[in-house]
Structure 1
Amino acid sequence: MTHSASAAHHAPVDHHPSADPRRWAALALICVAQFMLILDVTVVNVALPDMASDLHLDRATLTWTVTAYTLCFGGLMLLGGRLADALGARRTLLAGLAVFTAASLVTGLAGGAAVLLGGRIAQGVGAALLSPAALSIVTTTFHGPERNKALGAWAAIGASGSAAGVLIGGALTDGPGWQWVFFINVPIGIAVLAALPALVPARAPQPARLDLPGALLVTAGTGLLIYGLVEAGDSGWSDAATLLPLAAAVALYAGFAAVERAAQAPLMDLRMFTRRPVLAGAFLMLIATALLIAYFFLGSVYLQHVQGLSPLKTGLLFLPVAVATGLGAHLASRLLGRVGSRTVAATGMAIAAAGSLPLTRLTADSSVYAGLLPAFVVATFGLGTVFVTATTTALGMIEHHEAGLASGVVNTFHEVGGSIGVAVVSTVAASGIESGSIDGFTNAFTVCALAAAVSAAVALGLVPRGKPQMTGGPHVH
């Protein structure tokens, strides 16, 4: 899921150097590191009620526990890709892994909100350094048919990581405690840090300009956007505490656009948004991720706070949801070449909307197995088709030399989408999260249903006709 635009600038086309005998062992370790990053997007969701109880966290802090990580991961990812070029991919990967591992230890040791959120931010920074550097190493180490196999393994890690997160999070929270959803990264991170230098050869860095102002502007702008959305749940939409950060976010986004137009080596080539396939792919990825992570967030709190389920049972309940998402993705990969992106995207969003409808009528006495679970399965099956469509549309309907740039755009929207989705539903469901009121949850699920329905209609007009042809370039997970 996470790739940098820089990945497209690596890997010779015609001349392939001698294969490194250590490459498959290196790939296995790199995939382990990437798995940790993806796991941490969802692993905290099931642990949230226990964290709130132990650390006396309010709704806003719970929301930031999820969004701070994905915000920094997505907002700084393109800068991480440029750093991999400028400093060398191996050096950047090891630095990112060291930061992520240390931040995981700090987060697990947190005794209050400040340390918890600081640790999550640092985890996101480490992930933004590690992931694009790791993909760069994969694309430059493997060639020909081997590269497709390696990228397939990378994509499988992304697909399984989010699903495994809720199950592992539930097992650890129910067992040794919520702190272990972070502590588990520490021994694994140390082991990978110790082994990787012997398996991944150092390569000379490439000259690269760093657009630090652009990275700071877009990350700060998104942070203020999320702050405003979360604050609306406490202060209301018309309060200055909500409107001022939202206005500041708009101003920072405008500043980001100005900086990118003037930069000699922009972090994000905004001209990519004039490419309809890229714009469509980014939109689909934003909405699909926002809805999926929102379902994990709302479902975890609802099942434990309202239904009284344990963290482990909550994690197990999400297993069919994860399977449904994977099945949707698999079906879409087969249908795209037959019926085209537009039909698959619109149908997938319509299925997600239909699946969300029963969630709008939940009651405190609703059966989890007859009500919430089947609805989640249907909705996420639809979203699974949209994820694949977003990627293949953005990368399969543009020129080969633009695939890296398009991949960076779509992956940034993936991470940021998760942050925005959780912020919105947290605000709408504020009463449910704070007091267990069922109305708060049904209101939030209503917003999800409407968002999916509107997105289905938008997809009919925005997604280009035709069937995508994948170029073999970077892929998202």
Structure 2
Amino acid sequence: MRPPNAIRTFIVTGLALFMVTLDNLIVTNALPSIGEDLGAGLEGLEWTVNAYTLTFAVLLLPASALADRFGRRRVFTAGLALFTLASAAAALAPGTGALITARAVQGVGGAIVAPLTLTMLAAAVPTAKRGLALAGWSVMSGLGVALGPVVGGAVTEYASWQWIFWINVPVGIVLLALTPAFLAESRGGARRLDIPGTVLLSTGLVGVVLGLVRGNEHGWTSPAVLAGFLGGAALLAGFVVRELRTDAPMLPLALFRHRGFTIVNVVMLAMAFAIFGSAFLLIQYLQAVNHMSPLDAGVRTLPWTAMPLLAAPLTAPLAARFGARPILTAALACQAAGLAWTAAASGPGTAYAEYVPGFVLCGIGMGLFFAPVARLVLAFAPEKLSGVASGASNTFRQLGTVLGIAVLGAVFSANGDVTDPAAFTDGLHPALWTGAAVLAAAAALTLLLPRAEPHPAPAEPVRAAEPAAS
């Protein structure tokens, strides 16, 4: 007997979400091995991560519109196939350029798959049981985040870095086989695709990030770097003009007229900037300076990556008692304190126990952060735009990750390098202190949020939603 439709949908969407979420962090512990094997420097490693995150960020909203128009199951299947093929291409990559290209295509597939897992699951579950289904969806996302560094470390240590991508292939094939029978086709309201806006945003961001990544190596006033900054800024300005003038914008800029909505999204970008930019450097630091194996580094970051699973359930009762704004402020303050502790403790001779308080504080802060942000994003957006507002918030988080890796990588390169433990430490300290300062500023910014929180809009918050951590 086949399981009920809701169970069948959860099997496919839950496994797909776990695979995509796992892939966000599984690569982090393999970065030193990738750099050594392919001869990639810090710039190449930055693009190995950012190529995935950038395409993921830019295509979240267009992918949602595409699925509403052409059928969610059909587009989900295409995204899953693309993600699987790109995983194989990444595993077979003969050099850094090929790997970065494959990672960018993976990001396209992930941007299609991730939001549709929630959309299709919510549509398949009766309203009375939707809360339980969404809790299960969140658990799968959380497990992917918590296990990503551990699985990546274990695979890299006992097999090779290529296998962090190969493991996606059999999972993807099984899911592709199950999808026609386990998922029902559905559509949303037909929305026009903003292709010019998507092109302007993506190319503009690539130009800016290219300038940030290459600034230290080529000189901040070199023609190549200036061309990246100026060209990227011009394209981003063109994106803003386009979105203001078109009647079918990818990102309705009218949403940002509300002070609360603007602040929440700036805070989202700042959190991702500081936390994921710092994590990019810390994972390499633990292996290069503290001489941990890839598996050891993954296991020993669990106080950070697994803590959100324990802290997140506390957000609902705390928000009910104190409101979402104080919880958001406390979450950012915890993360700022955690990064500051880690920055102060880190050094070539640091014992692991000295890192743990900082990791725990960062993990608690992450666990307390996402639920109040989601609540406030929907609270400060018009009900008819709640789905787009949720997608915009997730896009800002992904863009924060891209900029964090680029900017904190530039701070690292300006003060140190990867040649020896002392030089690595010299670069890491200012990068972590920069991240802590950004988080502290974000915590202060939350004090400007309107005190009266509107009731969150109930309509279609799941259309463009996306996993909480990547």
TM-score, shorter chain, exceeding 0.5: yes
1:148 to 94, 108, 131: 131
Q: Is the 1:23–1:199 contact (alpha carbons within 8 Å) kept by the matching residues of 2?
A: no
**Letter matched to residue 344 of structure 1:** I
2:47 to 44, 50, 64: 64
1:104 aligns with 2:90: no
Q: Structure 1 residues 196-205 or 207-216, which shifts more?
A: 196-205
In structure 1, the partner of 2:365 is 382
d(CA) in 1 for partners of 2:392, 2:300? 33
Q: How big is the shift at 1:206?
A: 4.9
Q: How big is the shift at 1:471?
A: 4.3
Deviation sequence 1:164-209 (CA, Å, 0-9, x none): 1111101111111111111110000000000110111234675331
In structure 1, the partner of 2:451 is 465
Decide whether aligned partners of structure 1 residues 372 and 235 sit closer, same or farther in structure 2, where only a CA change above 3 A counts.
farther
Decide whether aligned partners of structure 1 residues 328 and 173 sit closer, same or farther in structure 2, where only a CA change above 3 A counts.
same
SS of corresponding position for 2:86: helix
d(CA) in 2 for partners of 1:36, 1:365? 34
d(CA) in 1 for partners of 2:65, 2:380? 25
**Letter matched to residue 318 of structure 1:** T
1:442 to 418, 429, 432: 429
d(CA) in 1 for partners of 2:301, 2:39? 26
In structure 2, the partner of 1:194 is 177
Q: How big is the shift at 1:55?
A: 0.7
d(CA) in 2 for partners of 1:372, 1:295? 14
Q: Is the 1:42–1:293 contact (alpha carbons within 8 Å) kept by the matching residues of 2?
A: no
**Letter matched to residue 208 of structure 2:** L
Deviation sequence 1:306-341 (CA, Å, 0-9, x none): 111100000001111123233343333322222223
Q: Is the 2:278–2:408 contact (alpha carbons within 8 Å) kept by the matching residues of 1?
A: no
1:178 aligns with 2:161: yes
In structure 1, the partner of 2:245 is 262
* 1:210-289 to 2 correspondences below 5 Å: 210-289=193-272
SS of corresponding position for 2:160: coil
SS of corresponding position for 1:220: helix
Deviation sequence 1:335-370 (CA, Å, 0-9, x none): 222222332222222222222223333454342423
SS of corresponding position for 1:308: coil
Q: Structure 1 residues 77-86 or 280-289, which shifts more?
A: 280-289
Count the aligned residue pairs: 457
Decide whether aligned partners of structure 1 residues 148 and 389 sit closer, same or farther in structure 2, where only a CA change above 3 A counts.
same
d(CA) in 1 for partners of 2:187, 2:107? 26
Structure 1 residue runs without a partner (length 5+)? 1-19
Deviation sequence 1:282-316 (CA, Å, 0-9, x none): 12221222222123212210001111110000000
Q: Is the 1:284–1:387 contact (alpha carbons within 8 Å) kept by the matching residues of 2?
A: no
Deviation sequence 1:241-277 (CA, Å, 0-9, x none): 3333122222111111111122222111111111233
Deviation sequence 1:95-124 (CA, Å, 0-9, x none): 000000000000011110111001000000
Q: RMSD of the TM alignment (CA)?
A: 2.0
In structure 1, the partner of 2:105 is 122
Q: Is the 1:233–1:426 contact (alpha carbons within 8 Å) kept by the matching residues of 2?
A: no
Decide whether aligned partners of structure 1 residues 417 and 410 sit closer, same or farther in structure 2, where only a CA change above 3 A counts.
same
d(CA) in 2 for partners of 1:235, 1:35? 39
d(CA) in 2 for partners of 1:197, 1:432? 50
**Letter matched to residue 411 of structure 2:** V
In structure 1, the partner of 2:295 is 312
